[in-house]
Amino acid sequence: MFKRLPILCAAMLALAACSHGSDQAGSAAPTPPPATSAGTPAAPASSASATPASTAPAAAASTPASATPAAPAPAPTAFVDDGTWVEGKHYFRIEPAQPKATSTSKIEVLEVFSYGCPACNAFHPTVSKLAQELPANAEMAYLPASFIPQENWPMLQRAYFAAQALGVAEKGNDAMYDAVWKTRELSAMNASNSGLKPPSALPTIDDAAKVYAKFGADPKEFAAVANSFTINTKMKRADELVKAYGVEGTPTIVIDGKYRFSPPEVGSYEKSVQLAKWLVAKEAAGK
């Protein structure tokens, strides 16, 4: 379970998971998280206990792609339950099962994320690795969360859906993380990194449009699309799905609207990849 302390998610260590709260972010776990095989620490623990909605309309999500051609997807593997992964400990069943976030006919592996979440930024390379290693019967997708408005998550969610509508979400995926955490042009933190900017000084959709302009989006068109009824509807549906999936922290991985887990529940980033692929095999086997 997340501990909820009066500190800001964006001001925490890069691997601290961001939790769902009305006016505060989650905190780092009280003990250092385990390291991956590559030596990268995993994010601290979270839980997801929100009551899933009985129905929630699906929100569209795109799959960011790398600049180089993707290798052929691995063949699906047979499902083997050797006791490594335990329901209720490493992953959780979503009851009742919810709609997918996309219209894919494949098994959907969904990351609930925010560009403004430091844990998502740290987990991003692992997600890219997972996307490359998914079997041919599965597809990676992304759903932006908005539950920390004081850190500008709703604007970043709006920007993602606008970019998706204009066909530049995939191209600009890495750049958006960089704009928050490297160049800081979209950061919610003040110049001294001692706290949040006042609401009036937070980056706007026009600032996000400048990032996507590097990938061919017209800034004026981007702003118009971002503020449209269609994007407002997508944002509402995304929020409904986040609640229906029982997501309380980011990043969270959701498999086909039926299972969810977050990296700290698994133990490491590398194990997160293994669990996601195991759940895909479980879903494919109808177990």
pLDDT, tens digit, 9 for 90 and up, residues 212-260: 999 999 999 999 999 999 999 999 999 999 999 999 999 999 999 999 9
- Spell out the residues 6+ positions from residue 81 whose beta carbon is closer than 8 angstroms to its own: 282, 287
Radius of gyration of the chain (CA): 18
Cis amide linkage into residue 144, ω under 30° from 0: no
Architecture of the domain defined by 48-67+78-284: 3-Layer(aba) Sandwich (3.40)
Nearest to 247 by CA among 21, 15, 82, 34: 21
- Contact between 255 and 279 under an 8 Å Cβ cutoff? The reply is yes
> CA-CA distance, 149 to 194, in Å (whole number)?
18
Classified as helix, coil or strand, 19 is strand
pLDDT of res. 71: 67
pLDDT score recorded for residue 287 = 83
Mean pLDDT score of the chain, rounded to an integer? 82
How many percent of the chain have pLDDT more than 90?
Answer: 70
pLDDT at 21: 55
**Three-state DSSP class for residue 253:** strand
Instruction: Check: CB of residue 46 under 8 Å from CB of residue 264.
Output: yes
d(CA 196, CA 189): 4
Which pairs with CB-CB distance under 8 Å and at least 24 residues apart come from 213-217? 214/172, 214/175, 215/168, 215/171, 215/172, 215/175, 216/168, 216/171, 217/163, 217/166, 217/168, 217/172
Q: Give the integer Cα–Cα distance in Å for 61 and 234.
A: 9
The answer to whether the bond into 96 is cis (omega within 30° of 0) is yes
Residue 144: enclosing H or E segment and its boundaries? Answer: strand 138-144
CB 236 within 8 A of CB 7: no
Residue 78 pLDDT class (50, 70, 90 cuts):
confident
Q: How far is CA 110 from CA 50, 157, 196, 200, in A?
A: 18, 15, 29, 33
**Between 31 and 191, whose confidence is greater?**
191
- 152 — alpha (psi -120 to 50), left (phi > 0) or beta? left
Sign of CA dihedral 176, 140, 52, 103: positive
Give the pTM: 0.79
